[in-house]
Amino acid sequence: MAADARRCVRTSGQAYDVIVADNFHPARSGSGALYTVEYFHAVQGRLAAGGLFCQGLPLHQLDSPTLRSIVRSFLAVYPGGTAVLASNSLDTPVLGLLGQRDAQHLHPAQVRARLAGAAWPKSPAAYGFEDEYALLGSYVAGPAALAAFAAFAGDAPANTDDHPVVAYRAPRITYAPDSRPRDRLLALLEAFSIAPEEVIVPGALADTGQRLAAYWAARKRFIEAGRGVRPSGDVQAMLAQVRLPLLAVLRQSPDFRPAYDPLLRMASASR
């Protein structure tokens, strides 16, 4: 069904278990209205009990003040909101804000079972979710970190219908960027924090908490290492650049497949 997003969520009487607002360019005409407090409230009204809303944010198309306004607007409706990193890309990083109708923590064993039983056209592993650590490891910020980020220096007014901050700010970075996406991503990772107890149920912390914390630390180290890599079609040249940094990441977290898989492929190709 093709329809205007705001009108659709306001007029539909249906409740949904999952609503995803995929990436749309924040500087395009009308897009700013899809980041407002009013819109986030309307989406919340369409969530079923236990329902989940994910708002995609293209970090390569947002400067920090605009991002802070969107996060503040999101937290006004979903105060227990969290954030995930959709990919480890340095040039087109994407953040996902997660809001729930009823706050829930996750059990790693249930996540593992859901992934194993997913009836998708392709295996979840094809999308980067090999196991529960790949999925839970995508989290980058808990509610407290998001609230602190939005309140930093008091420079983040909420984006509302009568105060359309995004519509005025977002075009600036398109025509006059002040930084590179990779630098904004790394600054964001420095500002954000996440603790295992903000994501998983208390009963699973002893088994999973330490490994999950190591996974998050390894992801940050992996992204930092990628900033200095110069792409090359020469497998040996690439391997010389990334072998030691990727091995260091894997020593920190053997669960971190984004470091293991490319290292294995390059090693095989260089034989």
What is the predicted pLDDT for the residue at 173? 84
What is the predicted pLDDT for the residue at 232? 77
> Does the pLDDT value for residue 239 go beyond 90?
no
Q: Which helix (H) or strand (E) holds 166?
A: helix 165-175
What does the domain layout of the chain look like in residue ranges? 5-194, 203-269
Q: How far apart are CA 29 and CA 26, in angstroms?
A: 8
Q: Is-contact 60 93, C-beta < 8 A?
A: yes
Instruction: Report the CATH number of the 5-194 domain.
Output: 3.40.50
pLDDT-derived band at 80, boundaries 50, 70, 90: very high
| Overall average pLDDT of the 29-49 stretch | 93
> Does the pLDDT value for residue 192 go beyond 90?
yes
Q: How far apart are CA 60 and CA 147, in angstroms?
A: 21
Among the residue ranges 41-45, 99-103, 219-223, the one predicted with the least confidence is 99-103
Q: How far apart are CA 49 and CA 83, in angstroms?
A: 21
Percent of the chain exceeding pLDDT 90 equals 60
> Does the pLDDT value for residue 153 go beyond 60?
no
> Does the pLDDT value for residue 228 go beyond 90?
no
What is the predicted pLDDT for the residue at 29? 86
| Overall average pLDDT of the 128-151 stretch | 93
DSSP string, 196-253: GGGTB-GGGIIIIIHHHHHHHHHHHHHHHHHTT----S-HHHHHHHHHHHHHHHHHH-
What is the predicted pLDDT for the residue at 82? 95
DSSP state of 81: -
Q: Tens digits of per-residue pLDDT, 82-96?
A: 999 998 899 999 999
Q: Which tokens sit at 134?
A: 């790949």
pLDDT-derived band at 241, boundaries 50, 70, 90: confident
Q: What is the mean pLDDT of the chain?
A: 90
